[in-house]
A and B are shown apart, each in its own frame.
Chain A
Amino acid sequence: MTSTVVIDKAAPTRAIKYGSMSRDRTWALRWSYFFLTLFAIFSLVPPLYMVITSLKSSAEISAATNPWWIHHPTLENYIGLLTSNQFLTFFRNSAFVSIFVVTITMLISVPAAFALARMRFWGSATLATGVFLTYLIPDTLLFLPLFKMFALFGDFTGIQLINRWYVLLFIYPTLTVPFCTWIMIGYFASIPKELDEAAIIDGASWFQTLTRIFIPVAMPGIIAATIFAFTVSWAQFLYPLVFTTSTDQLVLPVGIVTTLIKGDVFNWGQIMTGALLGAAPPLIIYAFLMDYYIAGLTAGATKG
């Protein structure tokens, strides 16, 4: 088995030049570019419109001029949001939640994936399948029982977790851990057996085998899993909407939706700026680590 990263820069280019064949190819290529441009416009219109609107003042937005053009570009929305304590609180909560969840996820899923991929034990195959099944259980099925469970937990122990941002640290791993474990099993399984046998014979403990051999070798997989865990916890909307209500406990997506959209007065310039800033961290990660991002995406379904 080869490495699971799907980077195909050296795909075979088809540059056959045989009379009409080549003419067909040229036309096929032109049509491809034409339709790709259409699809790219379709894909990029909403994010571009976010950028356009975020650079407009409220006055310009309500003047109903050409919505696709900025007549008087201004940064007032950005300044307004980035100096507002409320927005910075959302951002901080989101950052804390995502970073902690990524850490928890990796601490749980990497050792578990190692054990499931390498150390066959009673029920390990069933557990691996179970992990995959868990990944298929959606958040929308679990939010009500989970909410009730945490409410009851608060009643019984007096530890009130609902409406605290850190309650999300318990809940988000249910979304991230199964998938990360699943793709890490795939990555670990693709590492040659000789490598860990050699380490064991050399007297390495299982823990050392994991930290000294598996983690360095499977680094692309770990990066892909980390990116996945981060984007999922950054983007999650339903759980924070259910579990947190006071404005100082909200994470970014819920904060923008619930506090900036108030009544009939929609301050669209600020909403779009907030949405853009909320979309920025995943987009930046994607821009720099696109190959890992895509590897994580495809590994989940193509690697058994």
Chain B
Amino acid sequence: MADVAIRQNSAAAPRNVRKRASLRTALKRKSTAAFLMTLPLIILIALLVLYPAFYSLHLATLNKSMQRFVGFGNFEFLFKRDTFWLVVKQSCIFAISAVIFKALIGFIVAHFVHNVPAKGQRKWRGMLLVPWVIPPAMSTLAWLWLFDPSYSAFNYTLSFFGIGPIPWTGDASWARFSVILVNIWYGAPFFMIMYLASLKSVPEQLYEAAAIDGANWWQRIWYVTLPMMRNIIAITTLFSLIVTFANFDIVRILTAGGPLDHTHIFATWAFRVGIEGSDIPLGASVSLFMVPILAVAAIFILRDVNKRGNEA
């Protein structure tokens, strides 16, 4: 390939000058070609993402049989129901605590992996990323079995320490804890990998300079690592906030919203109402409540991505 490139470079200048006209037609061709190449993408996004997104706005204003326009009737109905406010509260608890712990654990583990000699890092990274690789629906089944009311392997192990059988999915607060725990287990490796990649891009000289200035490990993290990783921490956290807020698989399989709706989050409740209760408009209204938080996170992510684009 290399010799081809050299040959063309020498021919480039004169030909460009000579053939202005053909260049213009080429440009014309170029935009047509570009448009044709992006056309499938545009159609896909317009038809199967944008249209449904706006269609759900329309759906949310219809009654259950989808024949009559009820305006904000669905929302008024939701606001009057205690279950809805329970779902709002739980979604916030679920997403915020899960993201905080995922970020913390990811940060800590990334540091430990970064600490060990380079040749061993691959092995550790490989093991620690396994939770992220297994399809969440499949791994949640394993957790469901680990949390089984009568055969729980955790309770079996804990019984040796005198800790009585814990109702992992039976009791409301334990069930909330369990779904958050599984989410942390599943999501922390993603943070670990992102942080590890960005830790490696922090120049070693900065740490050396800090060490010479007498900085202890805490100061090194606070004044060197964190500022250098600020961008990636922000973008990963916001990104994970979106994904966690919209989570479905884990809660659905582990508790299906129970006991007594005490673990429902927006997605699982929208499924319960919309598909299982066949009230699609009401379900659509429920899932629309995810939009504000998603929009806020998306705006911040976009700002960050654009900033990075300008720097590059």
A residues near B, CB below 8 A?
Answer: 1, 6, 8-14, 28-29, 31-33, 35-36, 39-40, 42-47, 49-50, 53, 61-62, 64, 66-68, 107-109, 111-112, 114-116, 119, 121-122, 124, 127, 129-134, 136-149, 170-171, 173-174, 177-178, 181, 194-195, 197-202, 206-207, 213, 231, 234-235, 237-238, 241-242, 253-254, 256-257, 266, 268, 271-272, 275-276, 278-279, 282-283, 286-287, 290, 293-294, 297-298, 301-302, 304
Known contacts A13-B118, A145-B53, A173-B44; decide if A275 and B141 are in contact (CB<8 Å).
Answer: yes
B residues near A, CB below 8 A?
Answer: 1, 4-5, 7-9, 11-12, 15-16, 26, 29-31, 33-35, 37-38, 40-42, 44-45, 48-53, 55-56, 59, 66, 105, 108-109, 112-113, 115-119, 121-122, 124-139, 141-143, 145-146, 148, 150-151, 153, 156-157, 185, 189-190, 193-194, 197-198, 200, 204, 232, 235-236, 239, 242-243, 245-249, 252-253, 266-267, 270-271, 274-275, 280, 283-284, 287-288, 290-291, 294, 297-298, 301-302, 305-306, 308-309, 312
User: Bound complex: CA of A287 vs CA of B127, how far in Å?
Assistant: 10
Question: Can you name the residue of chain B whose Cβ is closest to the Cβ of A195?
Answer: B5
* A–B pairs, 25, beta carbons within 8 Å: A33-B116, A39-B112, A43-B189, A47-B131, A49-B146, A62-B151, A124-B38, A131-B45, A137-B49, A141-B288, A141-B290, A143-B271, A144-B274, A145-B53, A170-B48, A177-B44, A206-B29, A206-B34, A237-B249, A253-B138, A278-B135, A283-B130, A298-B194, A301-B194, A304-B309
A298 CB contacts on chain B under 8 angstroms: 193-194, 197
B contact patch SS: helix
User: Bound complex: CA of A294 vs CA of B58, how far in Å?
Assistant: 40
B51 CB contacts on chain A under 8 angstroms: 149
Asked if B291 contacts A141 (CB within 8 A), the reply is yes
Asked if B122 contacts A253 (CB within 8 A), the reply is no
B274 CB contacts on chain A under 8 angstroms: 144
Asked if A146 contacts B31 (CB within 8 A), the reply is no
Known contacts A149-B55, A279-B134, A302-B232; decide if A134 and B45 are in contact (CB<8 Å).
Answer: yes
User: Bound complex: CA of A10 vs CA of B42, how far in Å?
Assistant: 42
| Distance (whole angstroms) from the CB of A182 to the closest CB of chain B | 10
